[in-house]
Structure 1
């Protein structure tokens, strides 16, 4: 039996909201999700496990209908769903009375239930969030044998969501030895696979915000006579890239911008799209005049940080400014009773403050 394990799709999210590319990002999440479903159909995968946060918030009825259409197109692929903390089954949720296609099994209850798929000789377990936060360890002491007798040589797969203090706390060592052959987790947006191979976070299908760095996609698994084998499959079209632009005191502002643009162009892989978090590092001339907002106009830049330092020659600066406020500050700072490293910091930050405010 082959399966795809995915989670944290967050349909309806608008990453980087307010930017020129945010609408494209929102559409891209749907497109990526539908592509995975189409891949499952074409490759004749047996099941798709969606382990919470299919939607970024409560789904509208029209959104459920749209997703259901794509699920039905996947048949005979079976779809198994649990709701997560972003799309819980609340009293007024459209999940409550929604009729899914015949190939979809939605674990709607807030207590763990199981279903048996005889063709696979496999039991699938799951429960849904009914609140945005659940601090009770609902997976503690959970074991397949608590649900009664099982078919001989059957496989047991748990769909789960959470793992932190506010979203179903988990003792992973205990859960790993609870008797499940595979535990498919959602909630954490980065993929992770336990050394045993029995527990995995698929991570978010696409990055949802600028903290979602690294690869994104889903887990592909296969149940064999030797157990469950799982591998990560990259899927995301978009990625966040940390871009360090190293400068020196000899560079002009135009040169710095050109270097940043060149680095951005090199960082984008074919067929992928990037959103950049730019950090300026190195040293710059004391008289450098720049407008960091101009870096946002170089491309899809979501964050700019100035971590550079002034290229300061204390003695030269003092000799040029003996008769003004800056010179008097340097003279007093040099006489402070403290270690040299701390004195250097006081001089640096004081000089930078005076230059930045123009009060010298």
Structure 2
């Protein structure tokens, strides 16, 4: 039985949500989560560790390479296979080029096909590294494993235009036992138990919703079995708050506090406000930022105007003509905002004008 861990897109050195109060915590948490993976391997050793590109968010510093190598050296019974991706590609003056790794580490140091054989265990690992920030040629599509018994693994990064495009149908039929992919931050399967994106170890931005961690796998000589191990310290989540005509600012803030408490105060939220409010009720969504790690607020709520009724009431006036331009149309989000904001402004102006006339 061969046991392995497949991870990718660690992005050491990244500062997610730069400018937000928690951004520097996130920078250190990315390092901490990577260290926790290594500590876990030290306690429960695996045979192989695959890192499918973008271990670093940018060109690694020499001290960072030394720290990472010290971590790898602490798990000497695990063979580590590492490649550079599009973020940490090997520049001409990169510290990657002359760095001497520990004996248990294999770094694919060129942008050309290479195969490393562990003869005593009949393990074959194929890979390359990016030497440019973009690769437009499908470098992997022609690869095939050697005609030898054993465990054949392809380490690959990309899969889209500009980043080493791949024909997954051809790769699935090529004969590899497992293809460990990197580049996409969302963990997902291309071909069951054969071609898998591990996803980012820690989510990197507000679009990286869902579970994040690494792939734990086993090869029994014939088949591969995989499982996603959630391991991130935090997650990005979409949090929807539903409002109605009775919702006040206090009620909205109370709803948010309770949801954050229920879901977890460490998580980072994209807040989406939906529903219809009383036309005379004004909410202040910007005040919600201080009630949790709110990275974005999308206010999709609308005043509860009865458009047909208002149109009949104001037919033949500027307000009626304005409403008529929007009726019986499938409105975009922007058009809906224009309708309601404009209508609110017109109705407020009418009230003020009427009040002056009475004075």
Deviations 1:307-345 (A, max 9, x none): 0111114577679x96xxx99333334666x864569x9
Deviations 1:43-72 (A, max 9, x none): 111111001000000001111111111111
Matched, 1:242 2:238: yes
Query: Structure 2: any 5+ residue segments left out of the alignment?
Result: 351-359
Kindly indicate whether the alpha-carbon contact (under 8 Å) linking 1:330 and 1:347 is maintained by their aligned counterparts in 2: no
Deviation at 1:200, TM superposition (A): 0.8
Q: Which residue in 2 is equivalent to 1:127?
A: 128
Deviation at 1:15, TM superposition (A): 0.7
Matched, 1:283 2:272: no
Q: Which residue in 2 is equivalent to 1:299?
A: 292
Deviations 1:191-237 (A, max 9, x none): 12244411111111000111111111111111212222221111111
Q: Which residue in 1 is equivalent to 2:341?
A: 352
Q: Which residue in 2 is equivalent to 1:43?
A: 44
Q: Which residue in 2 is equivalent to 1:69?
A: 70
Kindly indicate whether the alpha-carbon contact (under 8 Å) linking 1:191 and 1:216 is maintained by their aligned counterparts in 2: yes
Q: Which residue in 2 is equivalent to 1:330?
A: 319
Match of 1:310 among 298, 303, 306: 303
Query: Structure 1: any 5+ residue segments left out of the alignment?
Result: none
Kindly indicate whether the alpha-carbon contact (under 8 Å) linking 2:266 and 2:293 is maintained by their aligned counterparts in 1: no
Matched, 1:101 2:102: yes
Q: Which residue in 2 is equivalent to 1:33?
A: 34
Matched, 1:251 2:247: yes
Q: Distance in 2 between matches of 1:342 and 1:4?
A: 49
Pairs within 5 Å for 1:99-178: 99-145=100-146, 150=148, 153-178=149-174
Q: Distance in 2 between matches of 1:277 and 1:261?
A: 14
Match of 1:229 among 225, 231, 250: 225
Kindly indicate whether the alpha-carbon contact (under 8 Å) linking 2:212 and 2:231 is maintained by their aligned counterparts in 1: yes
Q: Distance in 2 between matches of 1:16 and 1:37?
A: 26
Deviation at 1:25, TM superposition (A): 0.7
How many correspondences in the alignment? 346
Deviation at 1:290, TM superposition (A): 2.8
Q: Normalization by structure 1: what TM-score? A: 0.89
Kindly indicate whether the alpha-carbon contact (under 8 Å) linking 2:158 and 2:181 is maintained by their aligned counterparts in 1: yes
Q: Normalization by structure 2: what TM-score? A: 0.90
Q: Which residue in 1 is equivalent to 2:356?
A: none
Q: Distance in 2 between matches of 1:331 and 1:349?
A: 15
Q: Distance in 1 between matches of 2:323 and 2:92?
A: 68
Matched, 1:214 2:210: yes
